[in-house]
Structure 1
Amino acid sequence: MAELSLPELDPAGDRAVFRQIADHIRDAIGRETLREGDKLPSEAQLMQHYGVARMTIRNALQVLQSEGLTVAEHGRGVFVRSRPPVRRLASDRFARRHRDQGKAAFIAETEGAGGKPSVDSIRIAEIQAPVEVAELLRLGENSSVISRSRRYLINGQPVETAVSYVPAEIARGTRIEQPDSGPGGIYARLEELGYQLDHFVEEIQSRMPFRDEVRALKLAPGVPVFRLVRTAYAVDGRPVEVCDTVMSSDAYLLSYELPAR
């Protein structure tokens, strides 16, 4: 344990031994004695340091993994989980200047954080609007929407999935139906179609991920997600798009600027 100094166990403490060990390692991560991507001491090293059985060490490591702090790689060991450092600036991410530069919001914000953005798993279909979407878009019963589903990655790591819904009467036959919607993304296309954007309304909730979300985002056990539902409004007040996004909570810092007047 020469590379990492961990405290000794408190034999008089009322906290279970494996939880004390987890506390020590968590504290080392919090103080950045162990940094993102660093390898934890091996089970054998931890057993020797603490004088406990292998199962006790494994229980401690399982606690850290369930909290999303570490990830186990088969045959290599346990590592401090890396998290892409992206600050999501709600007051700036949909600024028109980004679209004028040919950049969709995700690209602009990821590049601003020094990351490499990419998109995959793109699926496009004309479907009947889900009930929640129909209400937000003020559509009648059985109305159709163009659905654009995709996954976003930073430096090859999946960080969010998103499904956009645009009324079919607006998007049908346009580039919005194409896998590559063009520079500036679908918001640039909507404005080209005459729907100048005025404002967005977002609702955010935190929850544990569903099984398919764990797979799509490659989430560690215990990592929750943000579900963000955004509605885009044109200058005439008409809602023209709903985006249902699921974000890995440890990939983002959500930042909002709120006026005081």
Structure 2
Amino acid sequence: MLDLGTIDRSNDRPPYRQIADILRAHIDHGRLAPGEQLPSEATLIDHFGVARMTVREAIKELRTEGLVVAQHGKGVFVRSAPPVRRLASDRFARRHRKEGKSAFIAEAEASGHVPGVDQIRVTNEAASPEVAERLRLKPRERVIVRSRRYLADGRPVETATSYIPEAIAKGTPIAEVNTGPGGIYGRIEDAGHELARFTEEVSARMPTPDERKALEIGAGIPVMTLVRTAYDTNGVPVEVCDTVKIAHSFVLEYDVPAQ
């Protein structure tokens, strides 16, 4: 039986936040395990002696943090899916492309998830000043733009937009919806640009309304942004990829040599 304790009505902290604190502590310490159902609204109302709205505000706070999910007609459950572990030192390994897997598919499967991708859109556009600078293109030079949404076990976890110079991508499967086995990088190497290295810039912020809609998250859930530039063996930048990741859905792991 879960010990829910009590709330302190003399405390300046609102009751709904105190209830959220209690439930959060049970989740953090494993007393409410992944996939386990939280006590019902009725149970929480009766135990704490509060109004239904107070309990709902407490649950809303946990949902906003990404700790719990509501299942219509069933109740509220501790989020069961472990984060996708993104191994920066391994995700671009050529063996994944030879196996016909993109980086996301390889890392999602390694984390025990069923990967998916949808909302794929391919356009030919003039490069923005930032993209042109990263790709060392002339102002307004054309790029193939590939945007898509990635899923883990059917739920959105990331959006990504890639910019590839038209000179590399035009007339190849990169300009089509289906790039074929190995994804964009497989086709870039097919075009004679063997990949040599990548640079990444990672930051965190709150999502825009459009990002919340695409990722199906609440306004209080932060996202990580990662901008990656890929270079071939001649040092030529061949792709810029701008990704937006739900913060609690990923662990970013980097293996940095001490040299």
TM-score w.r.t. structure 2 length? 0.94
* Alpha-carbon offset, residue 103 of structure 1: 1.4
Q: Which amino acid aligns with 1:241?
A: E
* Alpha-carbon offset, residue 219 of structure 1: 1.3
* Alignment RMSD: 1.6
Matches within 5 A, 1:18-167: 18-167=16-165
Which of residues 167, 170, 177 is equivalent to 1:169? Answer: 167
* Alpha-carbon offset, residue 11 of structure 1: 4.6
In 2, the alpha carbon distance for the partners of 1:64 and 1:114 equals 24
The answer to whether the aligner puts 1:243 opposite 2:241 as a matched pair is yes
Gapped runs of 5+ residues in structure 1?
none
Q: Which amino acid aligns with 1:43?
A: E
Q: Which amino acid aligns with 1:125?
A: T
In 2, the alpha carbon distance for the partners of 1:258 and 1:229 equals 19
Matched-pair contact (CA < 8 Å) for 1:71–1:220: no
In 1, the alpha carbon distance for the partners of 2:65 and 2:153 equals 23
Q: Which amino acid aligns with 2:7?
A: L
In 1, the alpha carbon distance for the partners of 2:157 and 2:80 equals 12
Matched-pair contact (CA < 8 Å) for 2:135–2:240: yes
- Structure 1 residues 155, 72: CA separation in 2 closer, same or farther (over 3 Å shift)? closer
Matched-pair contact (CA < 8 Å) for 2:128–2:140: no
Matched-pair contact (CA < 8 Å) for 1:84–1:154: no
Could you list the runs of 4 or more consecutive aligned residues of structure 1 that deviate by over 6 angstroms after TM superposition? none
Matched-pair contact (CA < 8 Å) for 1:67–1:221: no
Aligned residues: 259
Q: Which amino acid aligns with 2:130?
A: E
Q: Which amino acid aligns with 2:159?
A: T
Q: Which amino acid aligns with 2:163?
A: Y
Matched-pair contact (CA < 8 Å) for 1:226–1:249: yes
Q: Which amino acid aligns with 1:248?
A: I
Matched-pair contact (CA < 8 Å) for 1:65–1:222: no
* Alpha-carbon offset, residue 223 of structure 1: 1.3
Larger mean CA deviation between 67-76 and 42-51 belongs to 67-76
Q: Which amino acid aligns with 2:102?
A: A
In 2, the alpha carbon distance for the partners of 1:20 and 1:40 equals 16
Task: Indicate the percent of aligned positions where both proteins have the same amino acid.
Answer: 56
- What's the CA shift string for 1:127-185, capped at 9, x where partnerless? 01122111100110110000111111111111111111100011100111111111111
- What's the CA shift string for 1:208-255, capped at 9, x where partnerless? 111111111111342111111100001111100000111111111110
* Alpha-carbon offset, residue 78 of structure 1: 2.5
Matched-pair contact (CA < 8 Å) for 1:83–1:250: no
* Alpha-carbon offset, residue 190 of structure 1: 1.0
- What's the CA shift string for 1:23-49, capped at 9, x where partnerless? 100101111221233222122211111
Q: Which amino acid aligns with 1:31?
A: H
Q: Which amino acid aligns with 2:194?
A: Q
- What's the CA shift string for 1:74-112, capped at 9, x where partnerless? 443322234443110001100111112221111111111
In 2, the alpha carbon distance for the partners of 1:130 and 1:56 equals 47
The answer to whether the aligner puts 1:255 opposite 2:253 as a matched pair is yes
